[in-house]
Structure 1
């Protein structure tokens, strides 16, 4: 009988997706601290809109922004251990990114309220991440539920 609390055996696609998303966030968090991959590295500040450091020359980052990516990555990897946690990570993480997208659209980029900081590229990436994470949570949960229903009699 399949279970949603699987911590041993082969990972489900839902767990693999959460683990992969977590690994990408962890990598992004690390890359944000590497000069060359992050341009204008000498302007990297702890937080605030005045950080002009750009990950891959596109996405505005700060120490706080990088730490958030690292924590989000660790959470994804740890939560990928069970189906239920993997689903929650993808679903609620996606919701968080949609909220960040809206926040980024509403807050002025040159104001103290932009403390993470975010720029236009970050905003649109947050939209894509939010939609993708929620879609993974929903679509891959269906596969898990369908498989569980097929094996339970």
Structure 2
């Protein structure tokens, strides 16, 4: 098992997956701040269910929601430095997304409890992300072969 912090050292498939997932989250966080890619951009609020901005016209976002994506993405890239940290990012990040999925199912979308905010499309995406991240953590942690 390779667990070095050197940037030039070969990475495991798990580390590469963590880096890729982190990069996607960074991209999504940035796209959430771009008018046109985010429809109803003028209604983008800091937080709360009142933000009517929709990333790709589908996923409800706010400034807080975009910041969370940016921070989550940075965590994925930084934690890809070691095999064990990459595994933790994917595993526990996946669990967090499953909790967000349950949270989104339990709260009313038009209530103050929906402070992130989320809509039905976000809920289903959170389910897929949670299961996918956990699957990557479990399946790729078995194989510690490095990639060149």
Q: Partner residue of 2:11? A: 11
Which structure has the highest helix share of the two? 1
1:1-153 equivalence runs, <5 A: 2-7=1-6, 8-144=8-144, 147=145
Tell me the CA shift for residue 3 of structure 1.
3.0
Structure 1 distance, partners of 2:9, 2:78, is 16
After TM superposition, the runs of 4+ consecutive aligned structure 1 residues lying more than 2 A away are 2-8
Unaligned stretches of 5+ residues in structure 2: none
Contact 2:49–2:116 (Cα < 8 Å) also in 1: yes
Q: Distance in 2 between matches of 1:31 and 1:43?
A: 15
Structure 1 residues without counterparts, runs of 5 or longer: 149-153
In structure 2, how many angstroms separate the alpha carbons of the residues matched to 1:14 and 1:73? 15
CA contact (8 A) 1:5 1:84 kept: no
The structural deviation recorded for 1:46 is: 0.1
Task: Return the index of the structure with the highest Cα Rg.
Answer: 1
Contact 1:6 1:83 in 2 (8 A): no
Structure 2 Cα separation of the partners of residues 6 and 94 of structure 1 = 24
Query: What is the distance in 2 between the residues matched to 1:5 and 1:85?
Result: 11
1:75 to partner: Cα distance: 0.3
CA-based RMSD = 1.2
Whole-angstrom distance in 1 between the partners of 2:27 and 2:13: 21
Q: Is the 8 A contact 2:2 2:11 kept in 1?
A: no
- TM-score (ref. length: structure 1): 0.92
Q: For the residues of structure 2 that align with 1:24 and 1:111, how far apart are their CA atoms?
A: 29
In structure 2, C-alpha distance between the alignment counterparts of 1:101 and 1:73, rounded to whole Å: 18
